[in-house]
C-alpha cells in the first residue's frame, strides 16, 4: 500500500551505545510528533546502504566514520549532522558546544577549591579534544595547569564494565590527592571510579570525578554516585529536526553550525567535597551548602566557622578568589538553575527553593550571574 503523499521518511544515524544518542533521538521525536507524519528508520551497525535503499527524504545523525562522512556528502536529500567529528563536512550541523562543556567542568572544580587537575578522554575523537581544550583553557586563565591522561582508562565500555587494567591501577596509585578528574563521558567516569575502588582510593576526598551526559542509571551505578554535566542534547536533537524540516521544505541552510552550551552540573557524591585544608573555610563552605535555602548572611557563616567576619572574608579571598556573600549567591544560583531545568515550577517557587527572598531578587541575582533572566534560561533549553 502506498504511503500518504505528505509522509516523510527520516533516516537516523545514531549508535545507541553512545551516551547522548538517546537524548538526541528524544528531541527529534518531540519535534516530529504528533504534528508531522514522519516515518523513521535507525541504522544498525552504520548500514548506510540499507538506509539509502529505503529512499529517505531526509537524514539526521552522528557522523563518526569516514564511510558515513562520504555517505552524507554524496546523498541528494537534505541532511543534518550532529556530532562535529569531521570538521570539514560540508553539510548543515547542529550539536553540542564541547568547549563550553570543558569550561563548565573546570569552573565546577575551581568553585570547589581544587588546584590540581586531570582530563581523561577518548583517543582520536574530535569532541574529546574540544572538551579538553575548553577545560585546559579555563584552568590556564585561573591560572592552573591540567594533565591529559587520555588512554589510561579504557573507553570501549558497551554491555558491561571491563576488568580494571593493571595500568589503570598503577596510575591511580601514583596520584596524590586531592585531585580533580574530568572524564569525557559517564561510562568513562564509571570505569574510573571502578578502578579507584579496586585500589582503595577515596572518592571524593582523594579523587573528585566529574563526567558528562548525566545518564541517571550510569551515574547511580557508580560508587560513589557520579557527578555529571547535563548537556543540551535533547534540545539539539529538537533543533536538528526543525532544521531538517526547514531544508526539506526548500529553505536555505544556516550560515554556520549551531552549538548548544551545557545546562549545568548534576552534583552527586563523586564531587561533593571542597578541596580546602583550612578548617574554618571548610566549615564555612559546608554551612553555606547546607543552609543556603535559609535566610543566612555572612555573619551566620562566620559564626558557624568560629572566626570573625573580617578573617572569614580574608580567607575566602585568598583561597577561593571570592567573598562569602558571592559564594552564598553562587550556591543559590546553582540550585535555581537545576530547578529551572528539572521542574515546571512558577518562578516564585524556584526562588523559595533556591533561598532567594522573592522572584524579583532571584531575577536580579540570576541576571547578574548568568547574563540573562531565569525565564530566558529556562526557555532556551525547553524543546517545543
The CATH number of residue 24's host domain is 3.40.50.2300
Domain assignment of residue 3, yes or no: no
Residues 285 and 364 in one domain: yes
Q: Which residues pair with 121 in a beta bridge?
A: none
Instruction: Give residue 377's pLDDT.
Output: 87
Residue-range definition of the domain harbouring residue 299: 279-380
What cell numbers appear for 85 in the block? 567529528
Q: What is the pLDDT of residues 305-338, one digit of tens each?
A: 999 999 999 999 888 888 999 999 999 998 998 8
Domain assignment of residue 57, yes or no: yes
Residues 67 and 13 in one domain: yes
Domain assignment of residue 2, yes or no: no
Residues 218 and 202 in one domain: yes
Domain assignment of residue 137, yes or no: yes
Domain assignment of residue 13, yes or no: yes
Residues 286 and 222 in one domain: no
Instruction: Give residue 380's pLDDT.
Output: 73
What cell numbers appear for 116 in the block? 590540581
Instruction: Give residue 16's pLDDT.
Output: 76
Weakly modelled stretches of the chain, pLDDT under 50: 5, 384
Look at strands 79-81 and 8-13 and give their pairing.
unpaired
Residues 72 and 30 in one domain: yes
Residues 166 and 218 in one domain: yes
Instruction: Give residue 384's pLDDT.
Output: 42
* Residue 170 Cα distances to 155, 156, 210, 358, angstroms: 17, 20, 21, 52
Last residue of a domain, one of 243, 271, 299: 271
Q: 12: burial class by Cβ within 10 Å (0-12, 13-18, 19+)?
A: buried
Residues 226 and 298 in one domain: no
Give the CATH number, domain containing residue 346. 1.10.10.60
Last residue of a domain, one of 271, 290, 323: 271
Domain assignment of residue 154, yes or no: yes
d(CA 99, CA 136): 10
Rg of the chain over all Cα atoms, to the nearest angstrom: 23
d(CA 73, CA 95): 18
2 Cβ neighbours under 8 A, 6+ residues apart: none
Residues 47 and 86 in one domain: yes
Could you list the beta-strand ranges (E) of 153-308: 179-183, 207-212, 227-230, 258-260, 264-266
pTM: 0.87
Domain assignment of residue 332, yes or no: yes
Instruction: Give residue 229's pLDDT.
Output: 96
Domain assignment of residue 62, yes or no: yes
- Report helix, strand or coil for 210: strand
Residues 211 and 298 in one domain: no
Instruction: Give residue 45's pLDDT.
Output: 61
Residues 173 and 200 in one domain: yes
Residues 148 and 190 in one domain: yes
Residues 142 and 255 in one domain: no
Q: How far apart are the first and last CA of the chain?
A: 33
Question: Considering its fold, how many domains does the chain have in total?
Answer: 3
Last residue of a domain, one of 241, 271, 301: 271
Instruction: Give residue 282's pLDDT.
Output: 85
84 Cβ neighbours under 8 A, 6+ residues apart: 93, 95, 96, 98, 126, 127, 130, 257
Amino acid at each position: 500500500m502506498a504511503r500518504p503523499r505528505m509522509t516523510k521518511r527520516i533516516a537516523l544515524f545514531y549508535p545507541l551505545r553512545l551516551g547522548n544518542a538517546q537524548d538526541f533521538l528524544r528531541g527529534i521525536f518531540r519535534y516530529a510528533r504528533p504534528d508531522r507524519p514522519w516515518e523513521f528508520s535507525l541504522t544498525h551497525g552504520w548500514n548506510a546502504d540499507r538506509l539509502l535503499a529505503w529512499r529517505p527524504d531526509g537524514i539526521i545523525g552522528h557522523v563518526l566514520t569516514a564511510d558515513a562522512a562520504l555517505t552524507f556528502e554524496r546523498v541528494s536529500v537534505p541532511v543534518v549532522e550532529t556530532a562535529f567529528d569531521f570538521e570539514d563536512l560540508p553539510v548543515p550541523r547542529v550539536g553540542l558546544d564541547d568547549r563550553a562543556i570543558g569550561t563548565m567542568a573546570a569552573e565546577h572544580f575551581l568553585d570547589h577549591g581544587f588546584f590540581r587537575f586531570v582530563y581523561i578522554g577518548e583517543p582520536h575523537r574530535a569532541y574529546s579534544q574540544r572538551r579538553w581544550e575548553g577545560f585546559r583553557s579555563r584552568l590556564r586563565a585561573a591560572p592552573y595547569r591540567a594533565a591529559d591522561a587520555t588512554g589510561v582508562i579504557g573507553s570501549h565500555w558497551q554491555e558491561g564494565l571491563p576488568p580494571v587494567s593493571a595500568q589503570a591501577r598503577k596510575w591511580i596509585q601514583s596520584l596524590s590527592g586531592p585531585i580533580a578528574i574530568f572524564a569525557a563521558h559517564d561510562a568513562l567516569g564509571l570505569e574510573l571510579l571502578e578502578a579507584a575502588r579496586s585500589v582503595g582510593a577515596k572518592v571524593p576526598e582523594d579523587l573528585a570525578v566529574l563526567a558528562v551526559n548525566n545518564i541517571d542509571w550510569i551515574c547511580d551505578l557508580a560508587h560513589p554516585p557520579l557527578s555529571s554535566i547535563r548537556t543540551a542534547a535533547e534540545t539539539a536533537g529538537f533543533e536538528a529536526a526543525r532544521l531538517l524540516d526547514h531544508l526539506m521544505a526548500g529553505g536555505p541552510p544556516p550560515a554556520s553550525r549551531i552549538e548548544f552550551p551545557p545546562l549545568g552540573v548534576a552534583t552527586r557524591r563523586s564531587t561533593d567535597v571542597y578541596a580546602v585544608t583550612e578548617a574554618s573555610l571548610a566549615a564555612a563552605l559546608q554551612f553555606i551548602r547546607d543552609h543556603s535555602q535559609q535566610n543566612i548572611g555572612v555573619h551566620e557563616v562566620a559564626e558557624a566557622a568560629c572566626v570573625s567576619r573580617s578573617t572569614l572574608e580574608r580567607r575566602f579571598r585568598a583561597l577561593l578568589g571570592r567573598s562569602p556573600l558571592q559564594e552564598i549567591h553562587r550556591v543559590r544560583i546553582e540550585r535555581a538553575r537545576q530547578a529551572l531545568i528539572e521542574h515546571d515550577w512558577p518562578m516564585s517557587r524556584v526562588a523559595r527553593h533556591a533561598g532567594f527572598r522573592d522572584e524579583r531578587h532571584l531575577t536580579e541575582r540570576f541576571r547578574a550571574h548568568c547574563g540573562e533572566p531565569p525565564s530566558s534560561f529556562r526557555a532556551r533549553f525547553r524543546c517545543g
